[in-house]
Structure 1
Amino acid sequence: DGTFELNKGYHDIKILIYDAQKNVRIVNGTLFFMNPYEIDVTNLGEANNIVSFLLSPKSIAIPIKSAIIYSFTPFGFADERIDVISQERVETGLIITLPKNKIKRKALQFITQNDIGTVSMPTHWNDKKIAGDHLSLNVDLDISHSDAGVYIQIQPEKVIDQSLSLRLKGEFQYITKPINQIQPSVYLSAPLLPEEFENINQIEAIIGGSIERQIQFKFPFTIIYPDSSITIVSKDGSCSVKTRKNTFTESTLGWIEPVHKYPKITGGMLLTRVYQLQPFQKPMLKPINIAMRYTRKLDNRKKHLYFYDKKEGWTFIKTQEIKERRVLLGEIKHLDAIAVIEDKTPPKMIRSHPGNNGKYAALELNQFKINIDDKLSGFDPSPNSFEVKLNDKNIFYAFQPKLKVLSYDLDEPLSVGKHKITFKATDQAGNTLEKNIQFEVY
């Protein structure tokens, strides 16, 4: 795909560009690659209405030439980019001055660039007056799974002065993992392999200081190996999925989480919680089975499984009900949000040709068209979903699923007089629309 990894240092590049006649243009160049470097930030003090900082590279001797500074609120929300009043080079470092009123009760993020164009890792400084009490503030944990691996994000509710570290814990394991401060109150791990969570049941955040605080988070996720079938159950036990062998091409972390804010449901009523299957961005090679439990009060409701599609909205899942266990079963091809929804709304007829009580010349009426719609469950494009009769005799119609149009081409003109089209349409939830269209041919 054109992506490759480079070692640090200089690399010669040769690019050959061909036109349609095989004429070639050769471009030679040199590329220098270096990993982001770390910097130290030192507050040099304040005078009048300005504050000075010294920015120094930690481990390389390439001078810093410029800096970008962003301010954040005490709760870690991005505020604004701060303009540098002046800057002065000092050996490999850079002294900058900032307006005092812009950094009062703020946390700052410094990102620098050196003379060869390499950008530094973000480094942070904060006004001591805004730091939160690390022994009592709330700390959130978030885990995400991308193609690069598994990321662990730890976020205190306020900026803290203390250091923060990360450990994975199991019955016989205690593994420290590096974590980087990417914003004043956001800490992110490097991408981890799913296999690194084998036998892990806790994630621990340790906030240092004169008194150390250890915060334990349960690890409710499951490793899905390509060569095995795995069952994953939500924390409340109401939703579960079962993968098949080779559902994924590589080892993956899987989990189910309840969704508190979900897209609007048009034409139906939500009967259960909405659950998001994770990691939602991971493609699957094979479908997975899903199961959702329901309570006794839903015994007599018209209930089916649905998943949420960004383009189509809430979409019907062919559902099998096991009444004695109060379980609904289905199958999906993507890791989507799923829920149990009741659909009691019948389909609608949008328009028809011929129209009801219409009059038509025999030679001009050569096709029937009936446009129908269903807001939620949609139609299964099978003969069992529709019935169309002309003068009480079945006719062989065509159905276009995308346009939701029933059509029929007449072999010969209809006789002069009154005629009737009777049609019935049933959506996938079992709701039925029945219509009679009376028209006259002259």
Structure 2
Amino acid sequence: MKNILTLIITYSLLAIPIYSQNYLWPTNASKYISSTFGEYREGHFHSGIDIKTNHKIGYPVYAVDNGYVWRIRTSPFGYGKAVYLKLNDGNIAVYGHLDRFDDKLLPYVKAEQFKQNRYSTDIYLSESDIRISRGDIIGYTGDTGSEHPHLHFELRDISGKPFNPLNSNLRVKDYTIPTIKEVAVIPIGKESRINGGVYIQVFKVKYLGDREFGLDDTIYVSGSIGVEIKTHDTVSGLPNKYAPYGIQMYVDDSLRFITQYNKFDFSETRFVNIDRDFQLFQDEVGRFNRLWMYDTSKTIPFYNNSQTGALNLKSGYHDIKIEVYDHNRNTATLKFTIFSGQDYSPVIEKCEHDIGRFRVFIKRDSIHSYKGFFTDWVDKYGNKIKRALVSKIEISDDNYILNFVSHEPGEEILKVSAVPRQSNKIRSAFLTFSSSGFVDNVSVIPSYVHNPKTFLCNMTFNKAPRQPRFFLQSEESLKEIPLIAESPVRFVTEPVPFSWWEDAFAYEIRLPTEPVNIIRKAINFKCITPDRSNTITSKDRVLTATFGKNTVYDSLITWVEKAESIHVEGGERVADCYKIFPVTQPLNSYIRLMLIYPANQDKVEQIGLYRWDDDEWNFINSDSYAEDETIAAEIQKLGTFCLIRDFTPPVITDIFPGNGGKFRQSSVKYLRATVEDKLSGIKDDTAISVRIDGKPIIVEYHGVKNYIRYKLPKPLNSGSHTLVITVEDQAMNITTAVSKFLILNDR
């Protein structure tokens, strides 16, 4: 009965919502797509489908049904040239990246551009202005606002929410199942462990045949976990990788999670950073779909929100089945096994030395129950040097007692590997015997890992310490956090509540030497929560970041450090660089960043705020306040920031008609030029002015491909002409280029 009920629930939740419309395919360029609905874009979901146009522009774009032109937009960025139709059924059809509009739309665009004296427009029309019928041409495919030619096509419902166009009668031929590449298992609780570790772990998936995928081994977990997969869909004969249409996860044949990309509201589009795993992408592991709810208080429209997907499994083995499917219901199935139980890593409780031998006491109880041990002498990185021979194993009520012959010089680090009774998954512990010369030469390199629900401190020592202890110091107390040994020189703190880190102003690492050696480091962490505002400041008070309410998805430990100086091409740093951590966690909305610039700066207008991203400095639109000598901006992504002076003006090249040239009238239909700025960039079309023979003209600006063009309404008269182009970047550097050319009669 349980399985029947599960099938009924699954069918009702995952039935594709087919709408009754009979829409026309929006272009004759092709019936292939390069992107589908719900795919990841930086900071938002893809709200439509991208139709291939064979790497060309100029294919006609059709009204998919009867209605009227409701909105027309022109922009250097985003959708470029776009048309919005209100259809008679109440839905809205959106066409983006057009090369040009149909003639019946052009008068409205030209009139508004003339009125605003600029290229960018956003025009709303009445129902009686431009009526259209199914199949009417409304424009032509292009690449405005985009890197490559294609048609971006959306369908929105009467309230403006985009829904999957493939849920209408529009279809794409596809007979290929999705591909599943990797599985990630996420620790989402303080007690969570994956194969004995506290980190996210990623497992390779292999194809087994007959549409089925699997893993090589059982995954051993304890505590609460989340499962994620790296997957994509393909279409035979095409190189593109698409997001799947839906994913469902079963545990022991019980449905535990569903996602299906049907519809969303634009107010929900930032949830893309918790629907996909932002952290794994930032760590260059790949793009993973979460099969668990990051925050159950946030309703993500693609999910069945009654099933969170977070797994806290009973002790024992569990069968996991994940089905991934495209819109044509081509389905790939991944099956693997998880064993849930308490962490059974060996715990070395003590070591006793006697004449000619030593004994190691391993904890023994219902969890720490082993059927065998392997012992080796290893170097400080855990690499085997030679076998450590056990002369005898004794068993008491509380311990396994391993007896060894006394170690020789050079045998300083013992690795004890235990084979648990409930599996063959080996766990290890380390015991360091010597610390000669260690007191005066100790050093440690700390680093931090901010997982979705846990915060960890990694420590790498230059020499293997003996049983180091870790303490967080606050105004109220000194709290010890147990350490987990990953190798003789590498340790990590056990997960503890975020509040422990927020209250602390320093941590100490204590080494049991004589006298006790203490390594101390001051810290300035803040715990940001969605329900209240907070600020974080650099140690020198130059940088302040203000987090308002709901700027984070969930609790976030953040801090600021000075960053390494990075070369600036075409400009210069005017202050130190700062890095706001953790860069692997996303922001839900904008935070305010303010930096103080050094006193007595000339040409403050040339100074801007930049973020280092994708191996280049990216300008952030900011405001300057002379009275406070500060520059402030709204940012939506953490990382490395710097105040930079841009003193290099834009570059204007590839002018057509070129300076000194002679051209036939019929060969000059467009005026064109490339306009680029390497640092602060060109803000928009208002930063560009063009005159032909002294008369100002409004040119198209393609901000992504860095060019301008102007279609001549009629051929230029024969004779001499002068084209003047002036461009200003966002640091107020100005460039002017002049082209004088001669037009000849065609006769």
| TM-score band, normalised by shorter chain | 0.7 to 0.9
Q: Distance in 2 between matches of 1:64 and 1:277?
A: 47
> What SS does the corresponding residue of 2:370 show, helix, strand or coil?
coil
Correspondence 1:412-423 to 2 at 5 A: 412-423=714-725
Q: Aligned-pair distance for 1:65?
A: 7.4
Partner residue, 1:47: none
Q: Is the 8 A contact 2:369 2:421 kept in 1?
A: no
TM-score, normalised to structure 2, is: 0.50
After TM superposition, the structure 1 stretch with the greater mean CA deviation from structure 2, 174-183 or 213-222, is 213-222
> 1:26 and 1:291 mapped to 2: Cα distance?
49
Question: Shift of the alpha carbon at 1:398?
Answer: 0.5
Quick check: which one's strand share is greater?
1
Structure 1 residue 430, shift from structure 2 partner: 0.7
Structure 1 CA distance, aligned partners of 2:635 and 2:329? 49
CA shift digits 1:278-306 (9 cap, x unpaired): 12222111111111112224244532111
> Which residue in 2 is equivalent to 1:245?
549
2:691 matched to which residue of 1?
A: 389
Identical counterparts, % of pairs: 20
The answer as to 2:533 corresponding to 1:217 is: no
DSSP 3-state at the match of 2:379: strand
Match of 1:314 in 2: 617
How far apart, in 1, do the equivalents of 2:364 and 2:639 lie?
45
Whichever residue aligns with residue 393 of structure 1, its letter is K
Using a 3 Å threshold, how does the CA distance of structure 1 residues 339 and 349 change in structure 2: closer, same or farther? same
CA distance in 2, matches of 1:55, 1:290: 54
Which amino acid is the alignment partner of residue 231 of structure 1? Answer: T
1:441 aligns with 2:747: no
Say if 2:465 is the partner of 1:157. Answer: no
Tell me the residue number matched to 1:258. 562
Structure 1 contact 36–120 (Cα < 8 Å) conserved = no
Q: C-alpha distance in 2, partners of 1:392/1:27? A: 68
Q: Which amino acid aligns with 1:369?
A: R
Q: 1:253 to 1:390 in 2, by over 3 A?
A: same
Query: What is the alpha-carbon distance in structure 1 between the residues aligned to residue 333 and residue 595 of structure 2?
Result: 61
Distance 1:416 1:81, change over 3 A: farther
Q: Greater shift after overlay, 112-121 or 424-433?
A: 112-121
**Alignment gaps of 5+ in structure 1:** 45-52, 73-77
Q: CA deviation at 1:175?
A: 1.9
Q: Any gaps of 5 or more consecutive residues in structure 2? A: 1-290, 293-308, 354-358
Structure 2 CA distance for aligned equivalents of residues 105 and 178 of structure 1: 26
Post-superposition shift, 1:317?
A: 1.9
DSSP 3-state at the match of 1:291: strand
What residue is the counterpart of 1:292 in the other structure?
Answer: 595
* 1:110–1:315 distance in 2 versus 1, CA, 3 Å: farther
Residue 196 of structure 1 corresponds to: 500
> Matched residues in 1 for 2:571 and 2:671: separation?
31
Seen in structure 2, the aligned counterparts of structure 1 residues 379 and 174 have a Cα distance that, compared at 3 Å, is: same
| Equivalent residue for 1:181, pick from 485, 489, 492 | 485
Tell me, what secondary structure is at the counterpart of 1:134?
A: helix
Change (3 A) 1:158 1:264: same
**2:712 is aligned with 1:405:** no
Structure 1 residues 24 and 440: CA distance shift in structure 2, 3 A: closer
Please, which of 379, 383, 389 is the counterpart of residue 682 of structure 2?
379
2:548 partner amino acid: R
In the TM superposition, 1:2-13 aligns within 5 A as 4-7=310-313, 9-13=315-319
Q: 1:123 to 1:237 in 2, by over 3 A?
A: same
Q: Pick from 580, 587, 604: which aligns with 1:277?
A: 580
- Aligned length, in residue pairs: 423
Local SS of the residue matching 1:436: strand
In the TM superposition, residue 324 of structure 1 has moved relative to its aligned partner by: 2.7
CA 1:258–1:109 in structure 2 vs 1: closer, same or farther (change >3 Å)? farther
Q: Which residue of 1 aligns with 2:474?
A: 170
Deviations 1:247-298 (A, max 9, x none): 11222222110012x4432111111110001122221111111111122242
Q: Deviations over 1:62-105 (max 9, x none)?
A: 32477898633xxxxx4856687999997999x9x9xx99x958
SS at match of 1:196: helix
Q: For each residue in 1:366-387, what CA deviation from the matched residue of structure 2 results, as whole angstroms up to 9, or x when unmatched? A: 112211211111110131x000
Query: After alignment, is 204-213 or 412-421 more displaced?
Result: 204-213
The letter of the residue matching 2:586 is P
Q: Does residue 726 of structure 2 align to residue 424 of structure 1? A: yes
* Other-structure match for 1:206: 510
Q: Is the 8 A contact 1:110 1:124 kept in 2?
A: yes
Give the structure 2 partner of residue 124 of structure 1.
430
* 1:187-246 deviation per Cα after TM superposition (whole angstroms, max 9, x unaligned): 211223322335332322222244333443323122222122212110011111111111
* 1-structure distance, mates of 2:670, 2:335: 67
| Cα distance in structure 2, aligned partners of 1:24 and 1:393 | 61
Cα deviation, residue 326, structure 1: 1.7
Specify whether residues 19 and 144 from structure 1 end up closer, same or farther in structure 2 by C-alpha distance, changes over 3 A only.
closer
CA distance in 2, matches of 1:172, 1:29: 47
Task: Give the direction of change, closer, same or farther, for the CA distance of 1:229–1:105 in structure 2 (3 Å limit).
Answer: same
Q: In the superposition, relative to structure 1, how do residues 80 and 352 fare at CA in structure 2: closer, same or farther (>3 Å)?
A: farther
| Mapping 1:327-366, distance limit 5 Å | 327-366=630-669
User: Counterpart amino acid of 1:33?
Assistant: S
| Contact 1:69–1:110 (8 Å) recurs in 2 | no
Question: Is the partner of 2:484 in helix, strand or coil?
Answer: strand
